[in-house]
Amino acid sequence: MSEVKARRMNMSQAIAMAMYDAMELDSSVIALGEDIADPQGGGVFKCTAGLSDRFGTERVRSTPIAEQAIMGAAVGAALAGMRPVAEIMLMNFITVAMDQVVNHAAKLRFMTGGQTHVPLTIRTATGAGFGTGGQHADYLEAWFAHTAGIKVVAPSTPADAYGLLLSCIFDDDPCLFVESLPLYFAMGEAPVAGERIPLGKAKVVREGSDITVVSYSRTMVEVQAVAKELEKQNISVEVIDLRSIVPLDMDTVLASVAKTGRLVVAHEAQVDFGVGAEIATRVHRELFGQLRAPVGRVGAARSPVPFSKALEDAFIPTKQRITAAILETLR
C-alpha cells in the first residue's frame, strides 16, 4: 500500500496511487491504453506514471491508437479472470469502441446466464475548458447509465477518486470511471491508503435547509462555490455529490429533498435527456405532494462543445447559471 506523506494531492496523483495500490494488492489487475507505460510517458495525464517501472510492461501495456482493440482485449482478459483497467484517453473516443462496451462488456454476464462476467474498469477523461472543441470534451455518462450491466462513476475530489477507483477495479462488473480534465490539477485532501468508497453512496458535502442541489464530477466545484456565495444572502443550500450515477443513491437524494422541498440537478452533460431528467422524474414521483417548486435542471446547452471562450461560457453550467437555476427554483 502507498505510504501517503503529503496531506494534499491532485486527482491525477490520487488515481495513480489507486492504480498502484490495486496492482500491488492483486496480480490479476492489469492496465492497457495509449501511452500509459512509463517508456511512453506514463499516460498523457500521468495517471499511470510509475506503474510499468514497478510492475513491468507485461502487466502495464501501451497500445496502438486503436480503441476497439483496447476495449476488446480488456473484455477478453476480464473473461479469463483478470481485472483489466483500460484507459480511453478521452471520453469521446469511447465511441470508437462502443460495440465492445455496450454489446459485450455490459451484456455478457446476462447473456451467458452468469457463466461469465467482465470485471473491467474503463478510465476516461473529459470536460470543457481547454479549448479542445467538439470532439474531446463531451460528458456522455447518460449513454452508459442507459445501458443495463455497466456501472458509471464520476468523482469530484482526489480522495473520492482514489476510493471509488479501488472499488471499481475490485467490482465484478464493468465500471465506467469518468475523470474530469480540469480536476486532474485541482488539489484536495489526500486519500487514506487502502480505503475504498462503496459505489452507490452519495455524499452530503454541505448541509442546508432551503434547497437541495445534486451534482457530480467537475460541476461540484461550481455548485459548492455558489452555495457558499448564497449563504451570504441567507439562502441555505444542501449539496449532494452523487459520486456514482449507477448505482444511483436515490435514498440520500429523496431524504434531502423531503427536508428542503426544492431540488436543482447540475451537471456538465447537456440537460436534455440527461441524468438530471431521470432524477427529476423520480423525485416528482416520490415527493409530488411535498415539492414546493418543480425540479430545476442546469447543464450544458444542446450544442456540440464550442471552441471559442465566448461561446464556452454560455455552454457550460457556470456559477452564474447555477445561481440563476437555484434562485428560479426558490422563487
CA distance 311 to 321: 14
* Cβ partners under 8 Å of residue 281, min gap 6: none
The total number of residues written for the chain in this structure = 331
The candidate with the shortest Cα–Cα distance to 269, out of 87, 158, 86, 146, is 146
The candidate with the shortest Cα–Cα distance to 294, out of 323, 264, 256, 251, is 264
* One residue of 47, 117, 164, 257 binding other proteins per CB under 8 A: 117
- The answer to whether the Cα torsion of 276, 278, 284, 286 is positive or negative is negative
Number of residues that bind other proteins (CB under 8 A): 50
Does 68 participate in binding other proteins (rule CB under 8 A)?
yes
Residues 27-66 that bind other proteins (CB under 8 A): 30, 58-59, 61, 63-64, 66
Q: Which three cell numbers stand for residue 297?
A: 435542471
Does 261 participate in binding other proteins (rule CB under 8 A)?
no
- Which CB sits closer to other proteins, 254 or 325? 254
CA distance 318 to 331: 20
- Which CB sits closer to other proteins, 106 or 230? 106
Strands 244-246 and 151-153 come out as antiparallel
Does 247 participate in binding other proteins (rule CB under 8 A)?
yes
Q: Which three cell numbers stand for residue 140?
A: 456522455
Residue 230 Cβ vs other proteins, minimum distance, rounded to whole Å: 31
Residues 180-239 that bind other proteins (CB under 8 A): 200
Contact pattern from residue 73 through residue 112 relative to other proteins, giving x for each residue in contact according to CB under 8 A and a dash for the rest: xxxxxxxxxx-x--------------xx--xx---xxxxx
Q: Which three cell numbers stand for residue 174?
A: 464493468
- Which CB sits closer to other proteins, 81 or 294? 81
Residue 165 Cβ vs other proteins, minimum distance, rounded to whole Å: 18
- Which CB sits closer to other proteins, 108 or 226? 108
Helix (H, G, I), strand (E, B) or coil at 90: strand
Residues 279-318 that bind other proteins (CB under 8 A): none
What is the full DSSP assignment across 8-50?
EEEHHHHHHHHHHHHHHH-TTEEEEETT-SGGGTS-TTSTTTT
Helix (H, G, I), strand (E, B) or coil at 298: strand
Question: What angle do helix axes 219-231 and 319-330 make, rounded to 10 degrees?
Answer: 60
- Which CB sits closer to other proteins, 72 or 133? 72
Residue 56 Cβ vs other proteins, minimum distance, rounded to whole Å: 10
Residue 54 Cβ vs other proteins, minimum distance, rounded to whole Å: 16
Does 114 participate in binding other proteins (rule CB under 8 A)?
yes
CA distance 71 to 235: 47
Does 273 participate in binding other proteins (rule CB under 8 A)?
no
104 is catalytic: no
Round the CA-based radius of gyration of the chain to a whole number and report it.
20
CA distance 209 to 189: 26
Set 136, 146, 267, 284: catalytic member = 136
* One residue of 40, 116, 236, 318 binding other proteins per CB under 8 A: 116
- Which CB sits closer to other proteins, 41 or 72? 72
- Which CB sits closer to other proteins, 182 or 247? 247
Which residues are at the interface with other proteins (CB under 8 A)?
30, 58-59, 61, 63-64, 66-69, 71-82, 84, 99-100, 103-104, 108-117, 145, 148-149, 151, 171-173, 200, 246-250
Q: Which residues are catalytic?
A: 136
